[in-house]
Amino acid sequence: MRTSRKLPFVPKKRFAIVVEGECEFWYFQMLKRNEPSIALNIELKIPQKKSLADQYDLVCALAQDYDQVLWVLDMDVIRRETIQGRRGSQPAIQRFLEFRQQLQKRFSHVSVVVNNPCVEYWFLLHYEQTTKSFDLCESCLKRLKNHLPSYENTARFFTHPQQDIYLKLRPRLPQAIRHANLCGAFDHEEAAKSVSEMYRFFQSAEVKSSFFA
């Protein structure tokens, strides 16, 4: 009698996502809830201290224990900190560029994801492909409300079962990824250029196999 062979257990890869804002946290939280078959064990991290240095330290610490680490930032926050910084201190944008360069050198499994000006631009790309330069998140938000009139930065809007922004956007995800790719990567020498690098998460091998098999 033939005996069946058990397939070896392959644990899911551990994927940490570090976000500075609640909107990003809620978005990925809803992704986890609505995509239970995803081939990753995703853990969300939102640091209590949100300075760039604190976030960078957290990313470095997580890189020791996780298979992949994603650091998601909104450029409008960095731009605002740069403007409000004390005279004579290192500008926030310069600190960010140095941190990103160090991470690229130290860790091949860490990705820095920039939304310029903010994550709402990623949401907007689900509906339209635009290269319009949004200097402030408020102007991007105004454009997004042409498609999502009830949009608001609240837990209820993002996570309530009757709202659930992820489910609203999910049918348009391939379009958003295509539009984001057309915008290209963040380049500090073109700081006014609107970009969203969120597509990097969806183009990782494990995520691709779960979403677009």
pLDDT per residue rounded down to tens, the chain (213 residues)? 555 566 555 577 899 999 989 999 999 999 999 988 887 899 999 988 778 999 999 999 999 999 999 999 999 989 888 777 777 678 889 999 999 999 999 999 999 999 999 999 999 999 999 988 887 899 999 999 999 999 999 999 999 888 889 999 999 999 999 999 999 999 988 888 999 999 999 988 778 776 655
∠ CA(25), CA(186), CA(194), 5° rounding? 80
What does the DSSP assignment read for 122-188?
Answer: HHHTTT-------SSHHHHHHHHTTT-TT--SSHHHHHSTTT-HHHHHGGGHHHHHHHHHHH----G
> For residue 195, what pLDDT is reported?
95
> For residue 8, what pLDDT is reported?
59
> For residue 15, what pLDDT is reported?
93
Short-list 101, 52, 104, 110, CA closest to 81? 52
Q: In what order do the strands lie in the sheet with 68-74?
A: 40-45, 13-19, 68-74, 110-116, 195-196
> For residue 18, what pLDDT is reported?
97
CA distance 189 to 197: 16
Question: Is the Cβ–Cβ distance between 18 and 55 less than 8 Å?
Answer: yes
For residue 175, the one-letter residue type is Q
Among left, alpha and beta (phi > 0; psi -120 to 50; other), residue 200 is alpha
CA distance 19 to 45: 6
> For residue 3, what pLDDT is reported?
56
> For residue 82, what pLDDT is reported?
77
